[in-house]
Amino acid sequence: MFEPLPQYPDHLGLEEEILAWWDAERVFDRLREQNRGAPPFSFLDGPITANNPMGAHHCWGRTLKDVFQRYKALRGFDQRYQNGFDCQGLWVEVGVERSLGLNSKREIEEYGLAEFAERCKERVAEYAEVITQQSRRLGMWMDWDNDYYTFSDTNIEYIWRFLKECHERGWLYLGHRSVEWCPRCGTSLSQHELMNSYAELSHPSLYVRFPLKGRKGEALVVWTTTPWTLPANVAAALKPDAEYGLTEDGGWWAVALKPDTPFSERVRGEELVGLEYEAPFESLPAQQGVVHRVIPWDDVDLTEGTGIVHIAPGCGAEDFELSRVHDLPVLTPIDEAGRFYKDYGEFEGRSTEEVEGPIVVELERRGLLVEATSAVHRYPICWRCATPLVFRIADDWMISADEIRQPMLDANATVEWTPDFYSKRMDDWLRNMGDWNISRRRYFGLPLPFYPCVSCGTLTVIGSLDELRERATGGFDQLEELHRPWIDEVPISCECGAEVRRVTEVGDAWLDAGIVPFSTLGWQNPEWKEHGYATGAAAGLTGADLPDHAYWEKWFPAHWVSEMREQIRLWFYSQCFMSVTLTGESPYRAVLTYEKLLDENGREMHRSWGNAIDAAEALQNIGADVIRFMFCDHVQSQNMKFGYGPAAEIRRRLLTYWNSVKFFVDYANIEGFRPGTEVPAEVQPLDRWLLERTEQLVAEITEQYERYWTRGVIRAFDSFVDDLSNWYIRRSRKRFWNGDQVALWTLWHALVRSVQVIGPVMPFLAEHLWRNLVAPLEGAPGSVFLAPWPEARERDEKLLAEVAEVRRVVELGRQARGDIKLRQPLRRLVVQGTGPSQKYVAEIAEELRVKEVEFGPIEVSELRVKPNLPVLGPKLGKELGPVRAALQAGEFEELEDGGFRVNGHDLSSDEVLVERTGREGWALAADEKLTVAVTTELDDELRLEGRVLDLIHRLNTMRKEAGLALTDRISVTLPQSDADLLAHKAWIKEEVLATEIRADGDTEVRITKV
């Protein structure tokens, strides 16, 4: 007996059950044992930040990772299954700050760095646990107790080695530059952190006069949307070869930007260069000694503003570059927290936003304000905390990208990207990447091992803990782990003998994630250390070993990695950078990337908009299999709409599959059917077809898994389920009613194979069905994941093509019938364009409920041809009119190739629009190859048969509603008015399992169980 299935699958219930069963039976462990020592499939997990519970979008990547790891395991590959957690850097810091109610660096320092580090570690431990539970619920199989944590001392030491290598190659330098700066986080950001991080913000838009010295009544008019930069103004730039004009009220503008204004004087920009002017805030202490001049700048924008640009080198990247060219003083008005320094008078201590009001008031009071409005524009914001960024001059540690760029491009050329155009995206990023800004002025992150000596100028870069121990002049005893504040208490001795302290900066978090192809695999580690990765902050959180170099040789590079597309400039980049530096090779061979998750209406998901869905919520309400199926069904290179609507749609789609299994179980149980392992000898043609079709499914789906293309997997599965349910089962119903063992075996076999190949996508449902259909059989593996992957054999392609064509004919026939329901028999059907399907006349006639089927040219259609105007108009010109008229009058000749000859012109099929309609009494439908026409006229015989079929349908519905078993017999009473139906008595009795039919009732049809 198979376990009877309910009408609908209880996804949530069966998933919980299977999870518990997997645990109890140690299925995952047994799978790993089974594959141990086999050829490796090396997957490297990109670390998830252990800072929050998972969102629905995290389920996307985790689904793909699990699908392909499961698939590779079924193919017998040995795998590592190491999950990774990202644990330090700004994400975690900002999360902890929020939870503690701290909102500035000063508050963190008052709270205490040691305490702050403890809170960060607690947060990571807490969310690592939450993420683990949620991932398990999603069905993700990982080696959960051996995760890597990027804040482990071992991970940090490996980064130190990389940095030392960069230093030895002369790539490391301290950049003095204008950088985008987050005033809340108090640190600069690097190029890869700036992409896509913009918001539409409203800023003041001011037109301000800069009075020219020695030219009474004349002033430059400048435009700015960042008034806070005016106190740091040192120059005004204009385009030397552009024309400038003086307005009646004495303002200089670029003529191009005030075209309708009468100017009293016009000059070329270069004639104004060198003039001195009064800057609006030149009386501030910071401005003392600055001579404000007009400078030339070819890049002045003449599409907005005034054509005269105010220059504050301390507040903008381009301005800073100009200061080098023209030797301008650089005034830095704001500190790390974005607040004005002391020598800025009344602005001291205020933020850039707080000074906007007072600046406008002051300009107004002094008659310098021409106009003040506000403008909305795209403005960069901090990707961690969403604070608008400002420019500051800062000293940041940089790694030069010049020498590594080409080797990285070469390495990327060896990588297989899915979809393949992402390879070009990676190339684009690599070609344009600037130097890597690796320093952050923060607390809980990778401590940069840089020790610059003030006495001799040497920069020492420490490459390991051992080296630090050797060079330390003290403080080593209190060094709990490689984090601030402890690491800051360990000075070293410079080679000149002086004692040197570490810089206080920590590292970009992408260093942490980028090093894992080395740190987790034991690169250059002489001997295996048990739990050797669980060092520093990671001690107690994981049991991960630090393997030896031989292990690294075996598992590096990864065969496959998968993360979302934005990781091109993040993890794919940092990993590649570090790996090419250390080994000259790409750390991965194949990449699958995917796009962004949107809500079901296509909007971005945001917690603050109330449309974000947590993973926990999605898993509780939708279930893991449906979520996984949804992600796999998606074209990975497109944004995906996610929500309860799309999930319900998937659940509906899966019902066809469920119903097919239920159908089998119901009939198999009636017959007491037990499947044997051999193909029965006496298979019928339809069985033979399903066996071939099943082989085709296995071959197609295997190919799609090999391509890492889940969408192809789902398509192959869907099309198989359609064939199975709407062809094999429907056409074999009678055999199942009659308990045909061969049909039962064939269906069982097809279902088992489908369960196996869809297992990686829907592990719970597949396991549930396997437990029912296969596991109880003698010698069968208890889990679908312990069974070997089915090997597809050669197929009878001819047979498959024949039936595929028959199914197309039937589908077109259904379309042609249109509104005429299938229970109404029709007289004739004509099919044009068929090949092998002609021997399936009986099947076609039965499926489409027609009496006669003919093959041959269809002369029952009316052909209407119209010009395809956008194509034909330009081609024919004046000739179009006559051609159009001839087409309309039907004066054309149909050509062999599907084109038409009209008025002496040969028109190809894409130059015309063709419409075929059935003549009076016929209906037709066509695709590019086949045309199917049916007669629509009914006679008495057809009408009567139509009523009989309606009755049969009704009686079977009544049987179901009365809860009768499939084998129960009934007696039927019809109203007297239906007595003519008794002409088909035997037919009706057979179809509804009736022992008797009478037509002596009143107005109702009645059935009774006998």
Q: Tell me, letter by letter, the H, E, C secondary structure of 891-934.
A: CCEECCCCCEEECCEEECHHHEEEEEEECCCEEEEECCCCEEEE
Neighbours of 890 (CB within 10 A): 10
What is d(CA 212, CA 218) in angstroms, rounded to the nearest whole number? 6
**420: which residues sit within 8 A by CB, 6+ positions away?**
none
Q: How far is the CB of 95 from Zn ion (least distance, A)?
A: 12
Structure-token pair, residue 300: 């002045």
Smallest gap from Cβ 187 to Zn ion, in A, equals: 8
CB of 230 to Zn ion, least distance (A): 25
User: H helices within 1-112, ranges in order?
Assistant: 11-25, 27-35, 56-74, 90-100, 105-111
With respect to Zn ion, which residue has the nearer C-beta, 441 or 807?
A: 441
- Nearest-approach distance from CB 399 to Zn ion, in angstroms: 22
If the CB atoms of residues 473 and 611 are measured against Zn ion, the closer one turns out to be 473
What 8-state DSSP symbol labels residue 782?
S
Q: Which is nearer to Zn ion, 494 or 932 (CB)?
A: 494
Q: How far apart are CA 218 and CA 209, in angstroms?
A: 9
Widest CA span in the chain? 119
Least distance from C-beta 197 to Zn ion, angstroms? 10
Q: Would you state the structure tokens that stand for residue 831, as one six-digit string? A: 């099919």
Q: Could you give the C-alpha distances from 179 to 189, 318, 708, 965, in angstroms and in order?
A: 7, 11, 40, 77
The residue (of 107 and 852) whose beta carbon lies closer to Zn ion is: 107
d(CA 965, CA 410) in angstroms, rounded, equals 68
Question: Minimum Å distance from CB 390 to Zn ion?
Answer: 11
* Least gap, CB of 29 to Zn ion (angstroms): 44
Pairing of strands 597-599, 640-642: parallel
Phi, psi torsion values for 697, nearest 5 degrees? -55, -50
Say if CB 627 and CB 619 are below 8 A apart: yes
For tokens 């008495």, name the residue.
940
| Smaller CB separation from Zn ion, 360 or 498 | 498
Q: Closer to Zn ion by CB, 73 or 509: give it.
A: 509
Provide the minimum distance between the beta carbon of 441 and Zn ion in the complex, in angstroms, as a whole number. Answer: 12
Q: Which is nearer to Zn ion, 270 or 354 (CB)?
A: 354
The dihedrals phi and psi of 837, each to the nearest 5 degrees, come to -75, -5
* Shortest distance in whole angstroms from residue 572 CB to Zn ion: 24
| Spatial separation of the C-alpha atoms in residues 669 and 5, rounded to whole Å | 11
Helix (H) or strand (E) holding 752: helix 741-758
Whole-number minimum distance, CB 479 to Zn ion, in Å?
22
What is the nearest approach in angstroms of Zn ion to the Cβ of residue 451?
A: 9
Angle (CA) 406 410 416, round 5°: 140
CA–CA distance, 734 with 684 (Å, rounded to integer): 14
Q: What distance lies between CA 382 and its chain's CA centroid?
A: 22
**Smallest distance from the beta carbon of 756 to Zn ion, in angstroms?**
49
| Minimum CB distance to Zn ion, residue 90 (Å) | 7
Nearer to Zn ion, 494 or 951 (CB): 494
Beta carbon nearer to Zn ion, 185 or 830: 185
Closer Cβ to Zn ion, 182 or 690, answer by number = 182
Query: Least CB distance from residue 217 to Zn ion, whole Å?
Result: 46
Q: Site residues (CB under 5 A) for Zn ion?
A: 182, 184-185, 382, 384-385, 387, 453, 455-456, 458, 494, 496, 498
Report the residue number, 94 or 668, with the smaller CB distance to Zn ion: 94
CB of 105 to Zn ion, least distance (A): 11
DSSP secondary structure letter of residue 778? T
| CB closer to Zn ion, 185 vs 408 | 185
DSSP 727: I
CA atoms within 13 A on the CB side of 412: 26
Q: Which is nearer to Zn ion, 353 or 797 (CB)?
A: 353
- For 438, 449, 452, the CA distances from 457, given in Å and listed in that order, are 21, 16, 7
How many DSSP H helices and E strands does the chain contain?
32, 39
CB neighbours of residue 348 within 10 Å: 14
Q: Helix, strand or coil for residue 665?
A: helix
For Zn ion, which is the closer residue by CB, 492 or 630? 492
Q: Which residues contact 762 (CB under 8 A, 6 or more apart)?
A: 625, 628, 629
Minimal distance in Å, beta carbon 52 to Zn ion? Answer: 16
Between residues 14 and 462, which has the closer beta carbon with respect to Zn ion?
462
Find all residues with CB under 8 Å of 446, minimum gap 6, and list them. Answer: 88, 89, 156, 159, 506, 507, 509, 511, 512
Element (H, E) at 998: strand 994-1001
* Residue 477, both tokens: 């005893």
Rounded distance, CA 40 to CA 82, Å? Answer: 14
Q: Give me the least distance between CB of 397 and Zn ion, in Å please.
A: 18
CB closer to Zn ion, 498 vs 786: 498
Q: What is the DSSP string of 938-950?
A: --HHHHHHHHHHH
∠ CA 208-210-213, nearest 5°, is: 165
Is the Cβ of residue 458 or residue 908 nearer to Zn ion in the bound state?
A: 458
